[in-house]
Homo-oligomer: A and B are copies of this chain.
Amino acid sequence: MLLTSKARGVFPIAPTPFLDDGAIDTASIDRITDFYLECGSTGLTVLGLLGEAPKLEHAEAVAVAKQMISRAASIPVIVGATAPGFAAMRALTREVMDLGAAGVMIAPPNTLRTDEQILNYYHQVAQAIGTDVPIVVQDFPQVFQVQMSPSLLRQMFQEIGSLAMLKHEDWPGLDKISTLRRYEHEGSMRHIPILCGSNGIFLDYEMARGADGANTGYCFPDMLCEFLSLRESGNVEAAQDLFDAHLPLIRYEQQPGVGLAVRKHVLMRRGLITSAAQRKPSGTLSATARDEVEHLLRRLARKDPRAQL
């Protein structure tokens, strides 16, 4: 099942669960994958930036991807394949595509600056991994230090047929979505799925601007699914109420550096993974921060029983 231009809904970014000793926790992989399916996810992304991909050896990365792909066989699974060189990128891509991945997600290296350089890079990537492999472009300037203007994105998607989706986490990015959709309506750009990251902190208005869903690892993916459902069924203000109830925690989890620690802590508290352990180098959650997360959950539980832990 390859990624198509019809992709939409919630594609959670899956964490890589570890046991306290750093070993990969395969039981938790199954448990959280099942949860993603049950709550209505329409796709899944593994080995993303916050999937601690760089901390896995190659064979481990393939094993994690393989397990998630088989377990979530009913939905498309994207595999993060960003790498400093094309050899490793191609090697991982080939293996996971053979295992049934729906495509790969690739962010630009932080040495790129000009439109020309970025465009050339994605042309080279498509050639290197094979033009039959759907590519998700990760547009996250805050982390990758590469900025892609709407007109550059249009050119990239028009020239390179295998670019299949935009993971949008530019900031600010609302007008960027509007511009891309205007291009589409004007007929100068094909339709592409735009799924949004940044922990969903702007998902409310991103959807209003024309995004197709979320592609983020927020610790309540079930809320993201319900939020989209409510919107789709016309209950926009109820959706917004739900979203706003989660915003204090979303904001807290979005903090760079400690965000993943927050996310894994809540997923553990929800019983979805066994341990919040990260492999090093890692941000850690101080005792005070843990208390703050519990405070956020208690307050959230008043409005959303899922947070009653």
A residues engaging B (CB < 8 A)? 52-58, 60, 83-88, 91, 110, 113-117, 121, 124, 128, 141, 146-149, 151-152, 171-172, 174-175, 178, 201-202, 204-205, 208-209, 240, 244, 247-248, 251-252, 255-259, 279-281, 286, 288-289, 292, 299
Q: Are B141 and A113 in contact (CB under 8 A)?
A: yes
Contact assessment for A171 and B255 in the assembled complex, using a CB-CB cutoff below 8 Å: yes
Knowing A148-B114, A280-B128, A286-B178, the reply to whether A60 touches B87 (Cβ < 8 A) is: yes
Choose one: B54, B91, B114, B175; the contact of A149 (CB below 8 Å).
B114
Taking the nearest CB of chain B, how far is it from the CB of A298, in angstroms?
10
Q: Are A115 and B152 in contact (CB under 8 A)?
A: yes
Which B residue sits closest to A113, measured CB to CB?
B147
Which residues of the partner chain B approach A258 to less than 8 Å between Cβ atoms? Answer: 172, 175
**Across the interface, which residues of B come within 8 angstroms of A91, CB to CB?**
57
Q: Is the CB of A116 within 8 A of B178?
A: no
Report the bound CA distance from A152 to B56 in whole Å: 30
From B116, B171, B174, A256 is in contact (CB under 8 Å) with B171
Smallest Cβ distance from A125 to chain B, in angstroms?
9
Contacts A55-B85, A60-B87, A172-B257 given; 8 further ones with Cβ under 8 A?
A52-B85, A54-B85, A55-B87, A56-B87, A117-B149, A124-B280, A172-B255, A174-B288
